[in-house]
Amino acid sequence: MSAAAPRRPWRLPAIRALLLQLLAFPLTLATVWLLARAGLAQSWLSVAVVQGAWAAGLSWRAGLASWWRAIQFLFPPVLLLARQAADALALPPAAFLAIFLFMLLLYWSTFRTQVPYYPSGRGVWDEVARRLPADRPLRIVDIGSGLGGLVLALARRRPDCEVSGIELAPLPWLASLLRARIAGSRARFLRGDYESLNFGNFDVVFAYLSPAAMPRLWSKAAAEMRPGAVLLSYEFAIAGREPDERVVTTDSRKILYIWHF
pLDDT tens column, 223-239: 999 999 999 999 889 88
CA atoms within 13 A on the CB side of 234: 28
- According to DSSP, residue 181 is labeled H
Residue 217, Cβ density class (10 Å: 0-12 exposed, 13-18 middle, ≥19 buried): buried
Can you tell me the mean pLDDT for 247-253? Answer: 73
Query: Is the model's pLDDT at 166 over the cut of 50?
Result: yes
Q: What is the pLDDT of residue 119?
A: 60
CA 109 to CA 4: how far, in whole Å? 10
Can you tell me the mean pLDDT for 29-34? Answer: 92
pLDDT in tens, 100-150: 565 555 555 554 545 455 666 788 898 999 989 888 999 999 998 888 999
Can you tell me the mean pLDDT for 60-79? Answer: 83
Greater model confidence, 195 or 92: 195
Query: Is the model's pLDDT at 93 over the cut of 80?
Result: no
pLDDT in tens, 170-223: 888 888 999 999 999 999 999 888 889 999 999 999 998 878 788 889 999 999
Pair 10, 16: CB distance under 8 Å: yes
pLDDT in tens, 149-164: 999 999 999 999 999 9
Pair 116, 169: CB distance under 8 Å: no
- According to DSSP, residue 196 is labeled G
Q: What is the pLDDT of residue 249?
A: 76
Q: Terminal CA-to-CA distance of the chain, rounded, Å? A: 23
Q: What is the pLDDT of residue 39?
A: 85
Locate all alpha helices (DSSP H) within 133-193, ordered by sequence.
149-157, 170-183
Pair 192, 168: CB distance under 8 Å: yes
